[in-house]
Amino acid sequence: MNSETGIWVGPGNIASPAACASLKGHVESDTAVIGGGFTGLLCALKLAEAGENVVLLEEGSNPAVEAAHAAGTIIHTGSMMLHERAAVIGTDAAVQFQRFCCKAAADLQRLGTQLPHAAIQRRSSLRFADSDADTLRLAREYRAFSAHGIPAAFLEESELRRLYPFRKAAAFCTHGHAEMNPAGFADGLAERARTAGVRLYGDSAVLGREQAGRRYLLHTALGRVSARSVIYAGGQEGPGAGCSRKNRVRKIRTYAGITPPLHNLDRWEYSSFLENTEQAQLRVRTTPEGRLLASVTEHAVPDRPVLPSERQASFRNLQDKLRDLFPEHPVSLEKQWILHGEDAGASLPVIGEDSEKRGIYYGFGSGYNQPVLSMLAADILTCQVQGQTHPAAELFRTSSKLSNVV
């Protein structure tokens, strides 16, 4: 694991992506995608495979690098539970959002099986209770899933003790998730996009945008792109984007670590991710080498560098939590790293065409299930750019209605 970027360099992984050429001169396209990562690469790939002439502009050296920083999981549930989101945005919207995320997760896994280094492994996810109040929350979540026909299970203490080496009062289990190699997945997406005809440019931050008739001109340091449609995909919002997310997301900080290979994990139900229900969320999964990969995420953190005392205390807390879960193992952290990001909480992603500027589209979403939100955005935006209707589009409208929600 690279302790600075959080990219796992394990068996079957790939070398760091090579830098892409920067944009020079004038380029014509049907659609310009601004920003790489999973959202940018998926949008570019889907549009190109649908027959569009696509250019992707990434401010970093390679659009696959940002995606390689992902957590390595394909999760259709987010940090906020379904019944809690329903209390904020309404039951119908919350249930629709969950269903679309389940479909996007399945689609992303199918795509991953076609990429040589994505290393897709199907998993279930187990969220366990840390207190009596958590048990009640998980029971309500199970009832919410069951009421709408979304597969899930509620496990009581005796069943948990049979499957896992720790004791918890209850847990909520969902299926349809997967583990992946994010670097391998991202590299495969970039290569498939190139094969489909996407022109990928690195070190090509968009410095300005202007309208020229029915087209847009995007200016970089050394060139410009003319495009009928422009998609802002996560990373760069650019001048005049008109869709600021500053008030829609919370800063989060994740302290992550990985153990040396452990033996005799036979009482671990290997198909499950583990997650607690505390505000500082603990997430644990295994690796093919028998390691524990774990993280604790803190929400609404101050936007400043981490103090040495905070770093030391947080990694000690992470190690203590692992030792509490697996008391029979000599758990220690072989590598440690910190990741900074955003989480939208109850907010829905911002996906769709600008309500005032035709031809300008957004694919913004954040959180633990970012790759799934990226797949969902790519599906919706591909339809909209081509003048088609997507069944989820109304839910994510970039209008005053959505702004009131987020």
User: Would you state the pLDDT for residue 98?
Assistant: 95
Phi-psi category of residue 367: left, alpha or beta, with phi > 0 → left and psi -120 to 50 → alpha = left
- What's the rounded Cα separation, in Å, for the pair 202 and 385? 24
pLDDT of residue 218: 98
Residue 323 lies in domain: 124-178+250-343
Which CATH number belongs to the domain containing residue 264 in this structure? 3.30.9.10
Q: Are 240 and 209 in contact (CB under 8 A)?
A: yes
Max avg pLDDT among 263-267, 361-365, 372-376, 402-406:
372-376
Query: What's the pLDDT score for residue 227?
Result: 98
User: Do 264 and 303 fall within a single domain?
Assistant: yes
Residue 116 inside a domain? The answer is no
Q: Is residue 243 domain-resident?
A: yes
For residues 383 and 339, membership in a common domain is answered with no
Instruction: For residue 116, give every residue at least 6 positions away whose Cβ sits within 8 Å of its Cβ, in sequence order, or none.
Output: 184, 188
d(CA 71, CA 366): 12
Whether residue 207 is found in the same domain as residue 321: no
Question: Which phi-psi region, left, alpha or beta, contains residue 74 (left: φ > 0; alpha: ψ -120 to 50)?
Answer: beta
pLDDT of residue 344: 59
- 243 shares its domain with 291: no
Domain presence at residue 151? yes
Report the distance separating Cα 279 and Cα 131, nearest Å. Answer: 12
Rounded to 5°, angle at Cα 109 from 108 and 115: 90
- Whether residues 220 and 362 share a domain: the answer is yes
- My answer on whether 268 and 301 are in the same domain is yes
pLDDT given at position 244? 45
Element at 137 (helix H, strand E): helix 132-147
Residue whose C-alpha is closest to residue 383's, from 35, 58, 113, 31: 31
Write out pLDDT tens, residues 100-110.
999 999 999 99
Note whether 171 and 258 are same-domain residues: yes
Q: Mean per-residue pLDDT for 13-39?
A: 87
| Model pLDDT for residues 315-354, shown as the tens digit of each residue | 999 999 999 888 888 899 999 998 877 665 556 788 999 9
- Identify the pLDDT of residue 15: 53
Does 4 reside within a domain? no
| 133 has pLDDT over 50 | yes
Shared domain for 289 and 356, answered yes or no, is no
Residue 394 and residue 315 share a domain:
no
Least confident of 131-135, 191-195, 217-221, 338-342: 338-342
3-state secondary structure of 47: helix
Q: Do both 323 and 174 map to the same domain?
A: yes
Whether 167 is in a domain gets the answer yes
Please indicate, yes or no, whether residues 256 and 326 belong to a single structural domain of this protein.
yes
- At 49, which CATH number? 3.50.50.60
Number of domains in the chain: 2
Question: Which residues 6+ apart lie within 8 Å of 387 measured at CB?
Answer: none
Q: Choose the final residue of a domain: 343, 378, 393.
A: 343
Model's pTM, two decimal places? 0.88
The residue that leads in pLDDT, 385 or 263, is 385
Taking CA atoms, 50 is separated from 301, 353, 378, 382, in Å, by: 41, 18, 12, 8
Ranking 86-100, 194-208, 268-282, 392-406 by mean pLDDT, the lowest is 392-406
> Is 281 inside any structural domain?
yes
Per-residue pLDDT, 279: 66
Which segment of 152-156, 239-243, 390-394 scores lowest on mean pLDDT?
239-243
CA–CA separation, 198 and 54 (whole Å): 5
pLDDT at 225 over 70: yes
**63-76: average pLDDT:** 82
Domain boundary among 296, 323, 343: 343
Q: Is residue 223 over pLDDT 90?
A: yes
Is position 8 within any domain? Answer: no
Domain endpoint, select from 343, 371, 394: 343
Asked whether residue 232 falls in the same domain as residue 290, the answer is no
- Would you say residue 202 has pLDDT above 60? yes
* 117 is a domain residue: no
